[in-house]
Structure 1
Amino acid sequence: MNAESKALGESTLPPSDDPPPSLAPFGQSEALTIGVELELQLVNTNDYDLAHYADDMLRLMARRDLPGSVVPEMTAGMIEISTDVCRTADEALGQLTRIRDALVHSADTLNIAVVGGGTHPFQQWHQQRIYDKPRFHQLSQLYGYLSQQFTIFGQHVHVGCPDADTALYTLHCMSRYIPHFIALAASSPYVQGQDTAFDSARLNSVFAFPLSGRAPCVLTWDDFGRYFDKMTHTGVVKSMKDFYWDIRPKPEYGTIEVRVFDTPLTVERAAALAGYVQSLAAWFQNERPFAPIEDDYLVYAYNRFQACRFGLDAVYVDPVTGRHLPLREHLLETMERLRPFAEGCQAGGALAALRQEVLDNRNDARWLRERQGREQLLGEVIRQAALRFRGA
């Protein structure tokens, strides 16, 4: 469950004459372990626009003995950090804090800053440089300007599953809660200097890429293998990395990977979100509370849009009953149900912190808007967000 580059960054070019690959066997992983990946912004300390300092940051970070990894991303104003395999949210927070502190020290050396958030509020996509890595250059040739527009920043959470069929069951149960993840992590209200009226505008950029959205509703690894074979025979798909789904299985790690979170403004929130995913997975894997079916996805896109647009103020449609209720209410109901499972995963503190955020109707998108309303200048908002990321 070590970090890997984002799916987009690992895609391949269109079909060749090579024989279609086969699906990798599902690997061994300790159930309910977690791993966290964060894509982060590098900004200058003059006007707080993105700074093309990835190479310098990677060089300085390589000198340090740290858990996890630090790797480049699609464009040169961003990097990705990740934890090792963790058993608890507190362990993940400890690793993220060590990496964060090293990042801040390295950034200070370079006179730049590191920032969370799902989008940079005012960067211009045409000014971004593709990171000098063959795969990224290939993708730039394939996707054109979309590659530069993909200068967006997300959090990925891996959770361990005991076997392949349990992984698919957990994935499809988790899909009902995608709006929770989006609303809790939303931190991208601004794009190209404008308030988009979305709490999470970042996910709108993902829609432009092929094979985004949700995984097919199959519940056995044999059936998934048949789906994978069909896709690889088309030549469109070379490996699991070509699927840009909101949640996807990661057979090489024995995990599923939740990919819809905006990068939070703090590592504390990132760890709490991982604890929430872990608590949900514990409920699903220990109790098998419902049987996922294709009809669960009838309202999937609507619920997803609501959470992106309105955040915690969204409407949630229950896929089974058709009941419409405030997403905030559904979140609180779910958190109450998860309490014993969170305690079992030592994620009670993470759940309590997120619950208080819901009760206070606060997420990072709201924090950014409040700062912008007070300061007027988005550059000053980013300066304050950089201070928040470093724990100030």
Structure 2
Amino acid sequence: MKLIITMIVAMLLLPFQQYGQVTYETINSAKLGEARQIKIQLPRNYKENTNKHYPVMVVLDGDYLFEPVAGMVDYYSYWEEAPEMIVVGIKQGGKRMDDTNYDNKQFLPAEKGAKFFEFLGMELLASMDQKYRTADFKIIVGHDFTSNFINYYLLKDNPVFDGYINISPDLAPEMSNRLVNALSKSQSKKWYYLATGGNDIPELKKNILDLDASLSKIDNENLDYNFDNFKDASHYSLVAKAIPSAIGQMFEIYRPISIKDYNEILLQTSISPSEYLADKYESIEELYSVKIPIRISDFMAIYNAIEKTRRWDEYKPLYKMAYDSFPGTMLGTFFEARYEEELGNPKRAMRIYQNAYGQQKVAFLDSDFMLKKADAIKKDFGY
């Protein structure tokens, strides 16, 4: 029985072992004067996608925080809820207190902490950029002491990280005021996530709630701020809740068009559906430094919205985007035919439907469907 269970577990884990293998590397740091070991998880099919570049997520406390972060990144990217990313964990076992050290006067990184600060910002990221296909978008994650530490990068004039995932930070004196000042004045887009829990360490929780009250008042369009207070979570269990929440909120615009987006934006507002689609993908590239083709599901959401609202003029920009995104398929042909059909050009629509013969099928569109549409017009108008 034990053998059977073992075999079943192995079979279930095989896909994750295939795609989620972690490599270990050593960086000889001139800043630290020692070698440091890191864990790296590359995206699925990284070797095959030779022209693709990926955001980088740096995880402190890599001894225990790397696996849950890397797992969630892989899971979210699999379902296209977040971009594929290179996840890098720094092992800090026995060194985290030295790595996060700050002085007792200015409360800024000091001694080994100052060296570790430079190691991450200058050596680690440079090493990743040289060895792997990295995008400009970078995120850093920390827990308690390391969570406080990651905020020091925000105090620089040009922070090297764009996103900050703070899980129950053990805030240094003056950190709250410094953060409010830095995020209020930020002239570039920053994502800031903060989390605590109902059963978090009382002193930490109090300071975190105070920080949230201050950050919530910031009026800066360049700041995307999100906060979670998980009701029954402890200082350690909240990690499992905070990571997926942070990823989901940080990459909200990246995900496919949701039912909520469809109902509340595409159907209930005067916004142009085709412009909404174009703006969405332009924003993804601008914000996250990744360029992805427009998803078929998003094309279908816009198509359904046009049909529902009867805004037939929206088909013109849509079919142009479809031709660009999926050349050689029936997608653009179908949208163009619908455009001509609804604008009172049935003969032209019929011919466009017929032109789909020999093109690649996509979604629900195939040769039979397109020819039936052409035949229906021919029958109705006697062509």
State the structure with more CA Rg: 2
TM-score, reference length from structure 1? 0.25
TM-score, reference length from structure 2? 0.26
